[in-house]
Structure 1
Amino acid sequence: MTVLSTTAVPDHVRGALTRWMIEPAPGLYVGTLSARVRNELWRVVSASIGNGAAVLIHPEANEQGYVLRTAGERRRIPVDFDGLTLVAFRPEEYVEAADPPF
């Protein structure tokens, strides 16, 4: 099973994702994909992320049983710690400085 969470992605990306996965909640996509389709969808999402963000979780033969990939600038960042993926937090000041003013 593959899980993909998105924030503020273009409509054409959302359309591409719903061709292959279901969207049980806004911006949350779930499906069973081949590695080829999963990698192609991730390439499209990460290339067109803009000011948005995305997180992809899919099965992998490792200690945790999954891999976590991210695209876009957000406060939470995955960190490899001796083969385990942990999530670290950037200081809020960093995230506020990285966000564009509105």
Structure 2
Amino acid sequence: MASMVVISTTAIPDHVGGALSRWLIEPTPGLYVGTVSARVRDELWSAVSASVGDGVAVLIHPADTEQGFAMRTAGQRRRHVIDFDGLQLIRFAANAVDTTPASETASEIVN
């Protein structure tokens, strides 16, 4: 079953944007929106995350969670998605590059 996906990108290579625009529309630069199957979504995300380079990409898609959606990120960024008791929240890193291990959870940060 197809569902809506949103991919936001910053400073990605041109060929990545071209690949995304084959499946999704680009209403503003770097923002791709469309309705695709889970398989196509995962294949697109694999291509984006593998070639994001110095850029940043965020994927938001429907999921069976309390929030109703899931987020995936790729690239160096100041904002990081963390899991807090099943909710995906955004944590800002003090520096542009975060030194916190990816496995650290929000409850460990708070304590």
TM-score for both structures, normalised by structure 2: 0.83
Q: Judging by fraction of residues, say which structure has more helix.
A: 1
Unaligned runs of at least 5 residues, structure 2: 100-111
Q: How does 1:1-102 map to 2 (within 5 A)?
A: 1-91=4-94, 94-95=95-96
In 2: Cα distance, 1:97 partner to 1:59 partner: 27
Superposition CA RMSD, Å:
1.5
TM-score for both structures, normalised by structure 1: 0.90
Provide Cα deviations, 1:68-98, integer angstroms capped at 9, x if missing partner: 000011110000000000000000xx21799
Q: Which contiguous aligned blocks of 4+ residues in structure 1 show a shift greater than 6 angstroms?
A: none
Q: Percent identity?
A: 65
SS for the counterpart of 2:49 is: helix
Aligned residues: 96
SS for the counterpart of 2:91 is: strand
In 1: Cα distance, 2:77 partner to 2:69 partner: 21
